[in-house]
Chains A and B, each alone.
Chain A
């Protein structure tokens, strides 16, 4: 019997290659989207799970109630003495470690390298699981001046020689002894590094070892098994009060939450956002749903053809449940075929997706039985659901009705198939609207006036004191190059000014206690000109006015002027005090976006400090850009003796929207896929409907209907469904995309044009899909179509 079912199933495939192909291909595409996104999600939630004690490791974070910075008062960094205090005071803490981020110039006999790594206290390897291929984790970081390298860096430094015991020299001349080699730092770790140096040899850490007022380190603790983290956290206020008089609140954040659920200040590296995981999961489910709907739709369409077979089998003596089994096994079979195809497809697609999301993904995650079960489950459920209509509805027919073929109600009424098409197009249109909104917002960000120039500006992060002291010399040399127009030195770059201070006692403040937090940065004489920042009133810093350097002078932005109770004209000459000491406001600059557009423009003050800077900005001419860049880096490298790293400001600007740009790209691709799947389904149904109505078309043509009128007749019904889908999609898409845009302080409004664009494109695509079939049917020879009866 089973053999008979399979035989029938295969012959059905063979006889209807278009339907079966569309059916299986559509489901396979849906499933492979699902697989790919599932792989991505699996990878994202695997962050930091590889540590043996991951489930009871926590990072200590600090909330500083009065100190808001970039929209939050929650910080990832803690004071250096916390590790020791917390381990001593709480028996439930098994072990703790402190780490810090360091970029170092490291020299060995064969050369010097600019590497990024971390400093860590001796217990580092008790908290984190990074297996050492050489050296003893218990002692690797316990003596000062020890360094642990990754095997990649060890190879780079020492080639094939045994690195352990060798010496590595830091730029300031301090020598480190290699005490261990880490095989590999997994990429799914929320911090990565090429080396670890003993924290005791870090000057800054050492200086702050008993200082509770400075935060600059990340403290991780491992709790003894069975310890309740929230209970421990409730003991923190008393614990902190013992050591420090601040009103800071300490929190415990699970290690495995850091990558996806932590968005606080001074993270050790940029994290992902759980919202994006939800968005991707949503897209995966939607695309799979679309494919399953397709599959069901075509199965329903085809099943009407099969009614005759059902009737006949009943007449011959088949029980209804035998027929149910037959149909379900048929759809399961094609679902399994689709699954196999989907695995092949996703194996091909994964490398492309890897590039898109910048993650090393592979199908290996399917070895996890949970995920394999999920995948098999979704394939089987899609198969079962789509097979259920023919299995349960068609087999219920009276045999004599079934033998006559079609149920009467089929053609004109609003039936299941139509409902599914509406759902499918509603979903596609929601996705289309989503990708248009994301695209427009990205365009808005990239084209809107930030208030400062960002084209052709090369920026270099300068760490060498030698260079800051000799900046005039460097500037003169660089300006001799014909394609370097301007040079400026500043503490920060205009797209990310993140230093903040609190000012009191400005002219007009209510009393001496009134405080105002304000962003602050220092620049040289050329900064305002180079970045083309508008001065609304007053003047820029000037070399010709000697009091600018001898007395404190400030520029403020419009928002600061307003916040301090001035306007742009009255602000000039007002007194205030910030980092530069007591001074006078000499100008008001137009507001510029010193953070990403997620955030409102906040008060800013700028003071003059030509010799206190971290960045050099150069305005270049557009011709021969790479030659100019080479010239700059060579000059600076020659000068400092170390390689310098540079970037263009517009690239750095784009980096601030990396996750949105990524989202934009991914959503666009999946929207296209979803539309493709929806069209596959529509195409199949149009073909089916044209075939169903072959006789009707023949008769109409014999009676003199034109090709146009027949094509319209056949397309009309489908177009109505797409329009209905559009109507349903509008409110959903509007709500969802407003939620997304709420995250931006500066944003586009979702206008009717976006919906019109989405609706029209869906309609045009649907029309093209359907009309091809309709026109083909309308052009067919009526003699042929009528002959068959």
Chain B
């Protein structure tokens, strides 16, 4: 599903080139549940952003479903966002001016889903995450865990093939974290959704079936369990 070849990402500073990512080669197949781990500043989030087309690599090739991403224009990228990819963020990134219901509904608006269908899809989601009672509240009226549930619900409503989660549990306590991870595992096992998450926690990483270890922008060992 995802094929990265010799990806470089760097920042030029006067005479010096600082590499954030260097020579990344990575293959991810459909149905994988992958955790990207590594110390702060290793380039985890950058890698995830490049995979999610939120950022462009400086060098290298990236194929998504065998399409060369480095050649896609902005419009095509947003088409992929609509149809294939869902994002979950550490800071939730809900729109403060919209209610829970409206936040979840938003991707459907860009996908031009009809009103009635939209209603039932959002209702399903609210049901699935047990937040029906909260649907008219605004994000700042919710706890962190609840906000992340909304964030996950929003990511899932478009039935994406790939979920990218940047420290989804970073701001949550352990019970809430487990709840989110359980949802991810279920999605992965039952619906075959590919999941890539960035995390600092071994416990959270253990929900996945493969760990990518990043250090100073380079992939060190692809599978620590083989150690």
Contact = CB atoms under 8 A, between A and B. Distances in A.
Contacts of B187: none
Interface string A382-422: 00000000000000001110010000000000000000000
Given A8-B95, A315-B52, A316-B87, 15 more contacts: A7-B102, A12-B97, A15-B96, A308-B93, A311-B93, A312-B93, A313-B106, A316-B107, A317-B78, A319-B74, A319-B78, A319-B110, A320-B78, A398-B55, A403-B54
A314 B81 contact: yes
Contacts of B110: 1, 313, 316-319, 322
A370 B154 CA distance: 49
Contact of A316 (B49, B79, B154): B154
B81 A8 contact: no
Contacts of B97: 7-8, 11-12, 15, 309
B55 A400 contact: yes
A76 B111 CA distance: 74
A15 B139 CA distance: 14
Interface string A752-778: 000000000000000000000000000
Contacts of A316: 81-82, 87, 106-107, 110, 154
Contacts of B52: 315
Interface size of B as a range: 20 to 34
B131 interface: no
A7 B78 contact: no
Contacts of B74: 319-320
B78 A400 contact: no
B95 A398 contact: no
Contact of A315 (B81, B83, B98, B109): B81
Interface string B98-131: 1000100011011100000000000000000000
Contacts of A311: 93
29 contacts: A1-B109, A7-B97, A7-B102, A8-B98, A11-B97, A11-B98, A309-B95, A313-B110, A315-B52, A315-B54, A316-B82, A316-B107, A316-B110, A316-B154, A317-B79, A317-B110, A317-B158, A318-B78, A318-B110, A319-B75, A320-B74, A320-B75, A320-B78, A322-B110, A398-B56, A400-B49, A403-B54, A403-B89, A403-B93
A317 B82 contact: yes
Interface of A: 1, 4, 7-8, 11-12, 15, 308-309, 311-320, 322, 398-400, 403
Contacts of A1: 109-110
A312 B102 CA distance: 14
Contacts of A400: 49, 54-55
Contacts of B102: 4, 7
A315 B107 CA distance: 9
B74 to A, nearest CB: 6
A685 B93 CA distance: 26
Interface in B36-53: 49, 52
Contacts of B81: 314-317
State the main secondary structure of chain A at its contact with B. helix
Contact of B106 (A4, A308, A403): A4
Contacts of A322: 110
Nearest to A13: B97
Interface string B58-101: 00000000000000001100110111000101000101111000
B75 A4 contact: no
Nearest to A319: B78
A399 B87 CA distance: 12
A757 B170 CA distance: 58
Contacts of B96: 15
A313 B107 CA distance: 8
A629 to B, nearest CB: 69
Contacts of A313: 106, 110
A315 B52 CA distance: 9
Contacts of B98: 4, 7-8, 11
Nearest to A9: B97
A-B CB proximity, top 10 nearest? A317-B82, A11-B97, A317-B81, A400-B54, A399-B54, A316-B107, A400-B49, A317-B110, A400-B55, A317-B78
B129 to A, nearest CB: 18
Contacts of B82: 316-317
A315 B87 contact: yes
A789 to B, nearest CB: 11
A308 B55 CA distance: 15
A579 B107 CA distance: 96
B88 to A, nearest CB: 10
A403 B94 CA distance: 11
Give the interface centre of A4, A313, A317 by most chain B CB atoms within 10 Å. Answer: A317
A314 B95 contact: no
B190 to A, nearest CB: 24
B53 to A, nearest CB: 8
Give the interface centre of B78, B154, B158 by most chain A CB atoms within 10 Å. Answer: B78
Contacts of B87: 315-316
B11 to A, nearest CB: 12
A400 B53 CA distance: 9
Contacts of A399: 54-55
A20 B82 CA distance: 32
A316 B87 CA distance: 8
A308 B54 CA distance: 13
Nearest to B93: A312
A777 B154 CA distance: 37
Give the interface centre of A7, A313, A315, A398 by most chain B CB atoms within 10 Å. Answer: A315
A15 B96 CA distance: 10
A330 to B, nearest CB: 11
Contacts of B55: 398-400
A571 to B, nearest CB: 86
A313 B83 CA distance: 14
Interface string B7-31: 0000000000000000000000000
Nearest to B164: A315
